[in-house]
Amino acid sequence: MRRLVFLTALTLAVSASPAAADTSLHLPAPTGRHPVGTTSFHLTDTARPDPWVPSRDRELMVSVFYPAASARGLKKQYMTPAESAAVLEEGGITTVPPDVLSTARTNAVVDARPTAGKRHSLPLVVLSPGFKRPRATLSTLAEDLASHGYVVVVIDHTYENVATTFPDGRVTSCEACGSYDLAFWEKLVRGRAADVSFVLDQLTGPLRHRRGANLVDASRIAMGGHSVGGASSLAALRADSRILAGINVDGSISTPIPDPGLSRPFMLLGRQNTYSPGTPGGAADTWEDNWPLLTGWKRWLVVAGMEHPSFTDIGVLGAQLGLDFGADVGWARGAAITRTYVRAFFDLHLRGEPQPLLDGPSASYPEVAIVEPSS
């Protein structure tokens, strides 16, 4: 059976030589003109048992990022100390304080007043993190998109990450962790697609007048994700016609696209050393096999010098802690490449703005190459 590559983001760092904890841990500043606000919602789908703990209804924590009227106010805590400890323990990192990730400085103001005059007029992007990763690990991308006028919802897929903290103080662990065969990954992406549809139902229904959600234009929705979160974007697009376009960032495709294929826009963005055609290991094969079934606008981009964590906050904050993931591209550059190309895709397909960046090589980003398979 072909090997599916959903690397845990800290695994590559266990042989690193981390520095002492840096109290100035921070996310890079967003590049857009808007300050960023954020709020969180605790959602319960009473119509669906949890796929991993069937005795419970499916509960989700989500963070919504949005353009705000002011940058003044309390900044969002990056993650809780319990979540920080679980992430570091899962990665085998014992040389930094277990709560260190909870001290990282963010840029989003908690419950900030939304920017004026934008009710129900802004495109929505859904983001799904990698397996075992809390939703916080996509904050750099979410903050940046919000600063450019998007509403962004990032989903914690409960029991699929090492820790989710709920408002009543409960901290759930990874019930899904264990044995990973093809059937497991198929179950995972189906469940994530269901999570996404439920969250969209809530944001465009009962929550549509709540802060952040009240900015969403329900006719302009797209999705992206990292690792299995990226692979789940394909499943979500197939399951929900409200999602107009999607991105898979560095994730193998565990569930093949069925005939007659997917006609909505889709972009593949990954490491050159893993997702270039013909690369040993099988990950690139999953992209090649599904490429002909992407029948609409599509791009396949690979980035030289980046590793799996480079596309997320694990790369950003891990490098600041002195952890070495093997990437030749520095953390700030990796974040810039990810944010620029992801935003270009959404600007094209949710705003209709031409993006020459996606049509050929860029002198500004020589690390990025467009793959053109023969099929």
| Structural contact between residues 193 and 240, judged by C-beta atoms closer than 8 angstroms | yes
pLDDT for res 375:
57
pLDDT for res 19:
40
Q: What pTM, to 2 d.p., does this model score?
A: 0.94
Domain annotation for the chain: domains and CATH numbers: 11-370 (3.40.50.1820)
| Structural contact between residues 312 and 335, judged by C-beta atoms closer than 8 angstroms | no
DSSP state of 277: T
| Mean pLDDT split into 10-residue runs, the chain, 375 residues | 40 39 80 98 98 98 98 97 97 95 98 93 98 98 98 98 97 96 95 98 97 97 98 96 98 91 98 96 95 97 98 97 96 98 98 97 98 82
pLDDT for res 374:
73
In what order do the strands lie in the sheet containing 36-49? 108-110, 36-49, 57-67, 151-156, 122-128, 216-226, 243-249, 266-271, 298-303, 368-370
